[in-house]
Every structure is written in C-alpha cells, then in structure tokens.
Amino acid sequence: MRILLGVAGGIAAYKAALLLRLLKEAGHDVRVVPTRSALEFVGRPTWEALSGHPATPEVFEDVEHVPHVALGQGADLVVVAPATADLLSRAATGRADDLLTSTLLTVRCPVLLAPAMHTEMWDHAATRANVATLRDRGVHVMEPASGRLTGSDTGPGRLPEPADIAAAALALVTPGAAGAPVADAAAHGAAADDLADATDPAPQDLAGRHVVISAGGTREPIDPVRYLGNRSSGRQGYALARVARARGARVTLVAANVTLPDPSGVEVVAVESTAQLRGAVHHAAPDADVVVMAAAVADFRPARTAGHKLKKRADGVVEPLVLEPNPDVLAELTAARRPGQVVVGFAAETGDTDGDVLHHGRAKARRKGADLLAVNAVGAGLGFGTDDNAVTVLDASGEVVASAAGSKDAVAGALWDAVVRLL
C-alpha cells in the first residue's frame, strides 16, 4: 500500500520517524512529505534514509512530474503526524502553500490527522472549529493524548503514540485492522501481507454506540507489599478499545494494572482490585450498548488483608493463606443487561484431565449466559503478554459462531464483527 506521511513542524516530529518505521515494517511503501518547519526538527537525510524516497516540502522540486498531483493521485492513505495547529488551519481553509497542503487538496483516499500542540492551542476556538470543519469533510482527526508536553506543563495535546496512530490509520483501509474476520482468510491460506494490501474502507458500524471494555489483570492485596495477581498484560483489551474507537464507538476502558499507553480518544478508568473493577464497570454499563469483559478478573481474594507486611515465623512455617471467592462480575452484568445490550466475556483456559480448552469454554458459556464468550488458550507463551492471539467465539449455548487468529487488533476486529451482527 502506498502511504503518504505528512510531518508538520512540531517537537513531536521526532516520533514520526518511529511511525514511519512501523508502517515500513508492516510492508507498506511510505513517502514522507515534511513542511519547511518540520525540517527544523528532523532533517531530510533522516526521512529519505528511512523511507527510501525524496522528502521535500517544495512544490517546485521535480516539477516535470507535478508532484502535488502525482502524489495525491497515487496514495492509498495519508497520515499527518504531528498535525500542528497551523497545519490544521491551513488544511481547513484549503491553503496550498507547500507540497503537503497542496497534496492534501488532490487526495481522494482516507486521510488521518494526528494533532500535537500545547493544551491552550488545542482548546482554542479556532482550532476546534478547524477540526470540526475537517471532520465534516470526512477527514479523520484523532484526539490528542494527554500527558507531558514540551515544557513542564501537562495536559491534552500530546501526540498519540506511534503504534496507536499506525493502528488507527491502517484501520481506515485494512480489513484485518478494521475488523474483517480473519478466520476465512486463514482458512484459505491468506498471509498477513495479503490483508495489508487490501484497501476497502473501514466500517463505521459502531458509530453512535457506547462500548465499555475491561482490560488487564486485577490484583488482590495480601498485605501492603504482596498481592495475588495474574499474567494479563491488557493488550487484547486495549486492541478492542482501539478498533472500536476506529469504527466510531465511544469507548470507556476500565484498565486493571496496565502499563500500556492510553489509546487515543478513549476514556480510561484505572483500577487495581476486582472490587474496584466491578464498581467501575457497573457504573459505566447502564448506558452502554456493549460491555466486553476482557480483563482477567481474580476468582479469589484473601479473606483478610494484613495492615502490615507479613513476616516469616521463627520456625519457618508459613501461615496458610485463606481465600474467599470474588463476585462474578460477568454473571452480574449478564443478569442485569437491558434489552438490546450485548455482553461479551472472555475465557482464558489451559485444558486439563477433565477436558480441553474448548470443552471448558463451552461449559463456561452455558454457565455465564453472556451473548458471546471468546475462548482462548493461555500459558507457555500463549495469550498473555504476546503480540498475537487466537480465539473461538461461542454463543450462550456453547455453539461456535466465529473464530480468529492473528494480531490482537485483527482478533479484536473479528470479535467486533460478531458483536455488530447481534446489534
């Protein structure tokens, strides 16, 4: 796929070099079109070495090929990162005073702008009006991340992480990232590169929907130092949030002990214990169209939490740790769901002498009663903490309705396809 990467003149321009590498490593042909001020931050040799193409801001270079028209006509996707307040203004008003803004007037492919600027500039009425104008024209403008800015100040205006920009951009044109089922492709032997070459627009089939997703793994305190926990990284839940946001949803993400950067445009509620996760999910669920319990929620907690660090006894004997069951949050959500609301659970299974992963998954699906249950094998390098995943999706009776394998974004897309069919 031919991608144009526009780079405007902000300090965050250095992050665009990583974005360029991510897109190149995904197998795409990327050409960088910097603004003149962008070259004050990162020079032409860097862009040209990483992309393998010339990187000029000038309309009057290589004029015999009419670059601003040729680049726009040949692009399958345009990403601008960072998109400064100045760039947003020039794009909104149709300016054509350099190669990047001239090219933006000629493209007919999806365009994604990733803003980066100080909070005051992002909140200014002129910037908000420019963003609204661009969105009305069909341009996809990400919400900036919140965090440390150029100086000592913090707030909204930080460039989203390159991986999030790449995922959002590819979701506009790539079925695997946007949510097309990957099970059929796998059955026909299709490679990931084949999926990356497709250019069908991403569906906006979650537009106007509110989805609540839990991610990560809960921790149950034993004492002020120790806790009971699990190996969940939260990557699958975060992928579900990214893909849902790309498909138009308003997303509330309840994150239990996750160290990943917050997905752009997603409301993140940080929690630690099962009790905190339960409260946050129940608070957000009443007006949600979909609730997805992707978090690894602890089944048990210590019956008593010590107020001080527990010590070894002099004789070396360890006092037994008494456990009690946690509330079954998924079962509660299923029992309380309103008409039309879809509840999705996850079942991380290992299999044992009583049955394999799917056997235990079917039993859990019938027991929990969720609309969908995504069953995946974990342990020995599977599921937790990996870049890839594989799930079998069951209905409430335990029947298989979908399956998917591949990147966690692709699996998320396939799961959202199954949800949309129910909606």
Give pLDDT tens digits for 322-345. 999 999 999 999 999 999 999 999
Look at 74-83, 218-227, 357-366 and tell me which has the smallest mean pLDDT: 357-366
> Is residue 197 located within the same domain as residue 146?
no
> Is residue 229 located within the same domain as residue 283?
yes
**pLDDT confidence of 384, banded at 50, 70, 90?**
low
Give pLDDT tens digits for 91-107. 999 999 999 999 999 99
Q: How many domains does the chain have?
A: 2
Q: How many Cβ atoms sit within 10 Å of the Cβ of residue 325?
A: 9
> Does any domain span residue 178?
no
Two tokens, residue 139? 């341009």
Q: How far apart are CA 13 and CA 395, in angstroms?
A: 46
Any bridge partners for residue 194, and if so which? Answer: none
> Is the peptide bond preceding residue 110 cis, with omega within 30 degrees of 0?
no
Closest of 65, 159, 177, 50 to residue 113, by C-alpha = 159
Contacts of 28 (CB under 8 A, 6+ apart): 1, 2, 3, 196
> Is residue 152 located within the same domain as residue 200?
no
> Is residue 191 located within the same domain as residue 168?
no
> Does any domain span residue 391?
yes
Kindly report whether the global pTM for this prediction surpasses the value 0.85.
Answer: no
pLDDT the model gives residue 407: 82
> Is residue 157 located within the same domain as residue 228?
no
pLDDT the model gives residue 210: 97
> Is residue 57 located within the same domain as residue 189?
no
Whether the predicted pLDDT of 177 surpasses 70? no
- Contact between 170 and 384 (Cβ < 8 Å): no
**Run of H or E residues at 291:** strand 290-293
**pLDDT confidence of 184, banded at 50, 70, 90?**
very low
> Is residue 235 located within the same domain as residue 140?
no
Indicate which residues carry an active-site annotation: 230
Q: Write the CATH number for 368.
A: 3.40.50.10300
HEC profile of 349-403: ECCECCECHHHHHHHHHHHHCCCEEEEEECECCECCCCCEEEEEEEECCCCEEEE
> Does any domain span residue 68?
yes
Closest of 225, 208, 240 to residue 423, by C-alpha = 208
> Mapping DSSP to helix (H, G, I), strand (E, B) and coil, where does residue 319 land?
coil
Contacts 24+ apart (CB under 8 A), 84-87: 84/8, 84/9, 84/10, 84/115, 84/116, 84/117, 85/115, 85/117, 85/121, 85/122, 85/124, 85/126, 85/127, 85/130, 86/8, 86/9, 86/37, 87/6, 87/8, 87/35, 87/113
How many separate helices (H) and strands (E) can be counted in the chain?
Answer: 16, 19
Domain end position, chosen among 173, 196, 222: 173
Look at 149-158, 222-231, 280-289 and tell me which has the smallest mean pLDDT: 149-158
> Is residue 104 located within the same domain as residue 249?
no
> Is residue 128 located within the same domain as residue 187?
no
Question: 369 lies in which domain range?
Answer: 183-422
Would the CA dihedral through 49, 50, 52, 57 be positive or negative?
Answer: negative
Q: Write the CATH number for 80.
A: 3.40.50.1950
> Is residue 17 located within the same domain as residue 162?
yes
> Is residue 120 located within the same domain as residue 198?
no
Domain end position, chosen among 108, 138, 173: 173
> Is residue 311 located within the same domain as residue 354?
yes
Domain end position, chosen among 173, 192, 213: 173
